Structure 1
Amino acid sequence: MKKKIISKALCVALASVLMFGEAAPAMAATKSLDQGQAVVAEDTVSASIDGIEAGNSATVTDDHVGISVWGSGTSAKLYVNGVEFASRKTSYGYWDINTDFYGKAGVTYTFKIEAEGSDGSTVTKTFNRKFETPVFDKSTTRGWWNSEIDETGYSKYASLYVNTEFLSRVSAKYDYYVYRSTNPKTGFKKISSNTVYGGTNCYNYDYNAAYGKTYYYQIKVVAEKDDYIKTTKVIATSPVIKVSADNWKNIYVNAELDHKGVKLNIEDRGIYNQFDIYRSASKNGGYKKIKTITGDEFTDTTVKAGKIYYYKVIPKYYETRTGKLVSGNTTAAVGVKVTMGTPVPIAQITSSTSVKLTWDKVRGANVYEIWYMQTDISGNQYSKLGVTKGNSYTVKGLKNGHLYRFMLKAQNVANGKVVCENQNDTGRVIMGYDDNIYNLRATYISTAISKDKKTLAIYTNLAWDKNYWASGYVITAYNRYTGKEENVAKISSGTKNTYRFKNPGTSTKGMKYTYVRVRPYKGSVVSDTPIEINVNCMPFASGVKVSRKTNSSAVISWKAVPGASGYSVYRTNKQSGETQRRGNVTATKYEDKDYSVKTDYEYYVVAQLSFEGAWGNSHYIYEGNAKYFAKYQHKLAAPKMGSAKNTAAGQVTVKWYAVAGAQRYWVYRSTSKNGKYTKIASVATTSYVDKKAAKGGTYYYKVAAAAVSGAGVKAQSAYSAVAGAKSSK
Structure 2
Amino acid sequence: MRKIWKKAAFLGLGAVFLGLLGGCFLFAPPSVPQGVSASDGDYPDRILVSWNAVRGAQRYEVFRAEEEDGDYEKIGESTTTTFPDTEAQGNRLYWYRVRACNQFGCSALSEADSGYYLAPAPPLPPQNVQASDGTFSDRIRVTWSEVVGATYYELYRSDIPGADFLRIAQVSTTSYDDQGIVLGRTYYYRVKACNSYGCSNFSETDAGFAAASAPGAPQNVEASDGTYSDRVRITWDPVPGAARYEVWRAASQGGTYELLAETTATSYDDRAVTAGTTYWYKVRAWNVLGYGPFSEPDSGYAAAGGGGGGGGGAQLPGQVSGVSASDGTYYDKIRITWNSVSGARTYRVYRSTTGVEGTFSQIAEVPSGTTSYDDTTITTLCQEYWYAVSAWNDAGEGPLSVPDSGYLGGTLEQVKTDKIKVTVTPSSTDATEATVKLEWEAVKDATKLGVYYEIWRRAPATISTKIAETTNTNYEDTVEIGKTYYYKIRACSTYECILCGPFSGEVTVVVACNPAPPTNVTATKSDTTKVTVSWSAVNGAQKYQVYRSTSATGAYTYIGETTGTSYTDEPPIPSSGSVTYYYKVKTCVACGCGGLSAASNGVTFSAP
State the TM-score, normalizing by the size of structure 2.
Answer: 0.31
- Between 1 and 2, higher relative CO (CA 8 Å, sep ≥ 6) is seen in 2
